[in-house]
Amino acid sequence: MSKYYIGLSVTYHDPALAIIDEYGEVLFAEATERYLQNKRALNCEPDQLFRLPELLAQYCPNPTQLVIAINWRKKRPLYETLLSGLGFLSAPGLLKTGIKKLCSPLQNYQLHHMMACQRSSIESSSVNLVRIVKEYYPHCALSFVDYDHHLTHAAAACYSSPFEQAACAVIDSWGEHGAMAFYRYTNRKLERIHETRGIASASLGLYYMKITELCGFDWLKGEEWKVMGLAPYGQLNQTFYDVLAATVHIDGFDCRHVSENVFDKLAKLDDFKHRQGDPITLAADLAFTGQAFFGDAVTGLLNHLHTVAGCDNLALAGGCALNSSYNGQITARTAFKHVHIPPAPADDGCALGAAWLAYHHDHPQHGHPPKLLSPYLGSVIDDEAIGRLIQYNGALAIQQLPDSICQATAELLAQGKLVAWVQGRAEFGPRALGNRSILADSRHANMQDHINQNVKFREKFRPFAPSVLHEYAGDYFDNYHESPYMDKTLHIRDAMQNRVAAVCHVDGTGRLQTVKREWNPRFYELIEHFYQLTQVPMLLNTSFNVMGKPLIHSLEDAVAVFLTTGLDALVINDYLITKPHYESPKPSI
């Protein structure tokens, strides 16, 4: 018998697919946006019809049983069902006026659109997968299970952690009943401590989305990143902070809208769009203040969780766990001593959480020793594809360097070259962790503008991440603690900020990636060679994409970005690819 567990994140944004075998090993996990090259893959199925045969053949050969698990309950909440029955979740329904304003910082039509998309995604879940299994594996038995959304978040955080026991917080924009849930994790089992419930409960995720909107960014595109990047350029706007704080009351785990004149207070948020003054300065102040409000609110919740759970280990998930600026402050601002955030804490990670829950339901006594999950769970670009490029390419210089690719690449980086670095399996989650990365010298401040202008084509206030060898990280970061998935922002020591100016943000911080040899041997070797050349054990690391696009997926994606940007070299596996007849603009050093 060959039994597999397939988890589907059927959220209308950031869908994903994960596969676990009958022994509990993760075989594959990837967001749908990669294959489609469609950022966030809004309203797309995680089980893409034309890709499934390849995935099943590779990771589920000759299956006799498949358990298909999804990350939302098929039975929908009462308020959502009522709205649907009254027609508010249809296209004409979004246009209806005179409806009571929902208690939320977002407009009704925005919330109704999200609900409508989510219902559609749940209703059509697994349809493609069932068709392909029936055609290719007609004797395979299928079973289906659906889980509470926040429980799948918690499973993704806890089962991927190195902890035997932990307190778990899921802080999100929304779920079946509310926006947050808290758990106790012991012996591979999750016990819910508290869940916010009811339409009057407040959502810190929705508030951050509103702040994103007020700053002039688009939360539907996932531009909350820009708020975090812009915040250090601003300062506290006490009036704005007071308006935010006056709309939300937090008592223990309970996070609710203040009932008295809440709609008048929420309306004041929109007033900030029309304030006089420099719009960039105003946006920076709103970003700084919104981040401060978010941090204060989460700190209160986490300290209460520590008191109730009585555990120093924290597993954190939900969309708000992508806030790396706050994540790096948790051990300083709360009583928790150790923090784990999975590589995909948002809804794409729920595919893995759902698959894990299904596996542990069938194997309640079968628990692997806890270990940190490798994020390298996605697709590969094989040498066969590169062979075709070699055969038909007539312009690019291509060298195969099986014994010296790391050394040759380190030399290019030390010379100030920009290198796209593609190795092995793609990362699961939103961050490039040394397998689908653009790399550069971390020493020179002008490298930031050079990459933003000539490769990423994005705003100049967006920072870049340092990937640092673990053994030396304490020399560069105050209060250093490991950040394996680039999930925490820490302060760079004052004496080191000029030494690694390309990865030092305006407030002296860096969203670091800890690199260990056992986690990624080839990436470690590359940085080690760079260290031998420069005495700096750190590279600038950013995702291999351009703004508005996902990380590259195929060889064709990689070559397209390489040829249409100012990248100097493309390294795929053992192959070094360069542009012999083009000299890209260089930063003035």
Give me the DSSP letters along 397-453.
EEEE-TTTHHHHHHHHHHTT--EEEE-SSPBSSSS--SSEEEEEESS-THHHHHHII
In a domain, 193, yes or no: no
105 assigned to some structural domain: yes
Do 401 and 282 sit in the same domain of this protein? Answer: no
What CATH number corresponds to the domain at position 142? 3.30.420
SS3 assignment, position 212: helix
Kindly give, in sequence order, each residue whose CB lies less than 8 Å from that of residue 466, ignoring residues fewer than 6 positions away: 442, 476, 492, 500, 503, 510, 511, 512, 513, 538, 539, 540, 541
139-168 pLDDT per residue, tens: 999 999 999 999 999 999 999 999 999 999
**In this structure, are 243 and 335 located in the same domain?**
yes
Domain-embedded: residue 306: yes
CA 397 – CA 567 distance, rounded (Å): 14
Residue 107 and residue 232 in one domain:
no
Among residues 328, 362, 396, the one where a domain terminates is: 362
For tokens 């002008």, the residue is: 446
User: Phi-psi bin for 83: left (phi > 0), alpha (psi -120 to 50), beta?
Assistant: alpha
Residue that has been written with the tokens 């696009």 in this structure: 549
477 and 544 fall within a common domain: yes
Domain of residue 94: give its range: 3-149+346-362
Residues 306 and 353 in one domain: no
The CATH number of whichever domain residue 535 belongs to comes to 3.90.870.20
Q: The tokens of 442 are what? A: 């971390």
Name which of 39, 66, 44, 42 is nearest 55 in CA terms: 66
Q: What's the pLDDT at 588?
A: 53
Which pLDDT value is given to residue 408? 98
Number of domains into which the chain is organized: 3
In angstroms, rounded to a whole number, what is the distance separating the alpha carbons of residues 27 and 6? 10
pTM above 0.85, yes or no: yes
* Predicted pLDDT at 267: 82
**Do 545 and 569 sit in the same domain of this protein?**
yes
Q: Which residues of the chain have pLDDT under 70?
A: 260, 581-589
Assess if residue 374 is contained within a domain. Answer: no
pLDDT at residue 222 in the model: 94
Domain boundary among 282, 309, 340: 340
What whole-number distance in Å separates Cα of residue 491 and Cα of residue 486? 14
Q: Are strands 509-515 and 465-469 parallel, antiparallel or unpaired?
A: parallel
Task: Please name every residue paired with 180 in a beta bridge, in sequence order, or none if there are none.
Answer: 171
Give yes or no for a contact between 410 and 526, defined as CB atoms under 8 angstroms apart. yes
Q: Does one domain contain both 141 and 224?
A: no
Tell me the residue type at 412: L
Q: What is the CATH number of the domain that holds 270?
A: 3.30.420.40
- Whole-number pLDDT of residue 587: 58
pLDDT of residue 106: 92
Helix 521-534 with 405-414: angle, nearest 10 deg? 40
